[in-house]
Amino acid sequence: MGIYGPKKPESWWVSAVLQTIRAVVLVYDVITFPIHLIVQWPWRKRALSRRIKARIIESSDSSFTVRSLTEPCELHQRLVRDQVTTMESMLRAAAARWQNRRCLGTRTVLSEEDEPQPNGRVFKKYKMGDYVWRSSIELEKEAKNFAAGLRELGCQPRRNVVIGHNIRDAR
C-alpha cells in the first residue's frame, strides 16, 4: 500500500506477472481445499478446541478452584502414585523403571576442520566418535555424586548455585 492508496506497478508486464501468480494461487487453492478437508478434518479439530475442558467447582472472593473434565492419563497417574514432584524425584523414578536401558549418549570430538562457505564464512566441522551410552542407574549415581560434591563444598539443599565454565580456547 502506498501513502494515498494501492501502489501501481511500474509497467504492464509486472502487472501481468502478478495477475498470473494470483491466478495460479487461486487454482491451487481450489484444487487443494477439498483434499485439505478430507485429510485434516478441520471441523473436528475446531469442535475439540471449542469444547468445555474444565469447570469451576468452588469460587470465593479471593480464589476459585477449577477441575479438568478429562481423566488424567496413565503417565500422570503413575507420576502422582510415585510422588514425582521434582526433577530429582523424576530421575529417581526413571532409574527405577528403566534401570539398564540407554539414557544419555555422549560423543568425543576426534578432529575439527574449517569448512569455507561460498559466501565467505568459515564453518567449523567436527568429526565425531561413536556414542558412549550411560544407563539410567549410572546417570542417577553420577547425579548423586555431583550433589554430594556440592554439599561437600558447602552448598545447601534448595539453594541456588551458579556454575561457570570458561569456554575460550586455551591455545
What's the confidence (pLDDT) of residue 3? 57
Does the reported pTM lie above 0.85? no
Residue whose cell numbers read 475442558: 53
Q: Check the CA dihedral 22-28-31-33 and report its sign.
A: negative
Model confidence band, residue 6 (pLDDT cutoffs 50, 70, 90): low
- Rg of the chain in Å (alpha carbons): 29
Distance CA 171, CA 149 (A): 30
Q: Using DSSP, state whether 98 is helix, strand or coil.
A: coil
What's the confidence (pLDDT) of residue 88? 86
* pLDDT top residue among 158 and 26: 26
Distance CA 168, CA 161 (A): 22
Considering only CA atoms, which of 85, 100, 82 is closest in space to residue 141?
Answer: 100
Using the predicted structure, report yes or no on whether residue 2 has a pLDDT greater than 70. no
Give phi and psi for 110, each to the nearest 5: -80, -40
What's the confidence (pLDDT) of residue 168? 76
106 contacts 131 by C-beta, under 8 angstroms? yes
**What nine digits make up the cell of 96?**
527405577
The 10s digit of each residue's pLDDT in 115-170 is: 999 998 999 999 999 999 999 999 999 999 999 999 999 999 888 989 888 877 65
- What average pLDDT does range 17-32 have in this prediction? 96
Model confidence band, residue 8 (pLDDT cutoffs 50, 70, 90): low
What's the confidence (pLDDT) of residue 163? 86
The 10s digit of each residue's pLDDT in 67-106 is: 999 999 999 999 999 899 998 899 889 898 888 899 999 9
The 10s digit of each residue's pLDDT in 41-72 is: 999 999 999 999 999 999 999 999 999 999 99
CA angle 141, 147, 152 (to 5 degrees): 125
